[in-house]
Amino acid sequence: MSEIKKMKFAILGCGNRGQVYADYALQCPEEAEVVAVIDPNPVHLKETGDRHNVPQERRFDNIHDFLAAKIECDSVVNATMDQQHYETALLLIEAGYNQLLEKPICPKEDELLDLERKAKEKGVSVLICHVLRYAPFYKRIKEILNGGTIGSILTLEQNEHVKIGHFIDSFVRGKWNDENRCGSGLLLAKCCHDTDLMCWLNNASAPKTVSSFGQRAWFTKENAPKDSTEFCYNCPHTNTCLYSAQKIQLDVDEFPFQTWEGMGKPIEEVSYEEKVEYLKTNEYGKCAYKFDVDLVDRQVVNVLFENGSTATLTLVGGSVRADRYIHIVGDKGEIEGHMIDEKFVLRIFDREKFDFVEEIITVSDDIVSSDKYGGHGGGDFALMKDYVRFLQGADTSISITRLDDSLNGHKVVYAAEKSRRNETVEKIR
């Protein structure tokens, strides 16, 4: 491998994801450096600026001041929230910056196509954070498919199970709980990774027709226990309910950076008593059945590809175990596995025996520890490593995701949402 030069990054949006990518510079200081930070939230701006020793004159509370300062850098990491992606990504493109843009690219198809066109016109790169392409589980599957071992894909089946704590924290009480507020429905916010994987793994062809069903049918007022209250703190069911805020937010506290964000100070400065008070009036303390939103809690998506191959994706929120499952059937073999098991089964048809032979492929050893290097089965860290190489014009991995390579996965989501809402079958444009 040729020597890697140090790349300079600006971080736009210094929340949870922005900090994960910025921290690559602490893990691999010889490869990356954070030279500017931009965020209207003073707590996030200070935390990230201090962590990376960014001088005060290169800390900005808005993108316009950053652009006016004409800071030199190799790329801007755009980790703003979904509904800010289009506007901010466009400004960066027009200013001539390369960018690493968080998924989903944006909630509307015309905006997505506009970004693609403008980036081409301007000659800048926009890469998308499809971290799961980097998770060893999916990367290894892709390598096997590319090697032709299971032949041509006939069907591909995927499941995404979002476990109780995660679903409640992010999609019932959290900032992705209302499409009108956050810009994305559940399929776009949570499963544009899965539709991306579907199109990437099956990229011998392109998606052609889509249908989808789904609704919110469990987290509804009708399903709330009869004498339950609006907030969990004074609810008679708080000690038994699976979704109790006392349990999920206070005791388990799985995503503290989301739950306590609205308190306006660093989490380590928030006391237990302050948290208890906060949950008495904030949405994070509200009964999970009583939100007045229509974000689905289950959805199925069916896709027909141009070459006749088919794919299905089932998404459910509130499962007892977090998991992604995949089963790909090719004309010469099959691949089947649960991501959580860190292994999958490869079955190949043996013509002599006229039966299949099976091999277990374990990927645990390829996963970089998630404690040290962020999550997504090692995907976060591997993505940044590859991105640094991309910026330098070095060889990159099969997982690299340019904007135009992510179009099909997004188009499947837009078509599926149209189909679900209108009860129609949609053709991909």
Interaction site with ligand NAD (CB under 6 A): 12-18, 38-41, 44, 63, 79-82, 84, 88, 102-103, 129, 131, 189, 376
Residue sitting closest to ligand NAD (CB): 15
Task: Please name the residues in contact with 237: beta carbons below 8 A apart, sequence gap of 6 or more.
Answer: 225, 228, 244
End-to-end CA distance of the chain: 41
Residue (10 or 153) nearer to ligand NAD, CB = 10
Residue (376 or 389) nearer to ligand NAD, CB = 376
Tell me, what amino acid is at 69? A
Strand 126-128 and strand 343-350: the pairing is unpaired
Q: For 406-426, b where at least 16 C-beta lie within 10 A, e where not — what string?
A: bbbbbbbbbbbbebbeeeeeb
Residue (88 or 99) nearer to ligand NAD, CB = 88
Question: Whole-number minimum distance, CB 85 to ligand NAD, in Å?
Answer: 6
Question: Whole-number minimum distance, CB 116 to ligand NAD, in Å?
Answer: 18
Task: Please name the residues in contact with 316: beta carbons below 8 A apart, sequence gap of 6 or more.
Answer: 159, 160, 161, 162, 297, 298
Residue (188 or 329) nearer to ligand NAD, CB = 188
SS3 147: coil
Question: Whole-number minimum distance, CB 76 to ligand NAD, in Å?
Answer: 10
Residue (79 or 316) nearer to ligand NAD, CB = 79
Question: Whole-number minimum distance, CB 412 to ligand NAD, in Å?
Answer: 17
Question: Whole-number minimum distance, CB 356 to ligand NAD, in Å?
Answer: 34
Residue (41 or 203) nearer to ligand NAD, CB = 41
Residue (156 or 186) nearer to ligand NAD, CB = 186
Question: Whole-number minimum distance, CB 99 to ligand NAD, in Å?
Answer: 12
Question: Whole-number minimum distance, CB 155 to ligand NAD, in Å?
Answer: 26
Question: Whole-number minimum distance, CB 209 to ligand NAD, in Å?
Answer: 27
Q: Report the DSSP beta bridge partners of residue 335.
A: 328, 346
Residue (196 or 426) nearer to ligand NAD, CB = 196
Residue (31 or 47) nearer to ligand NAD, CB = 47
Q: Report the DSSP beta bridge partners of residue 32.
A: 7
Question: Whole-number minimum distance, CB 213 to ligand NAD, in Å?
Answer: 24
Residue 147 buriedness (CB in 10 A; 0-12 / 13-18 / 19+): exposed
Rounded CA-CA distance 317/214 in Å is: 12
Strand 333-338 and strand 323-330: the pairing is antiparallel
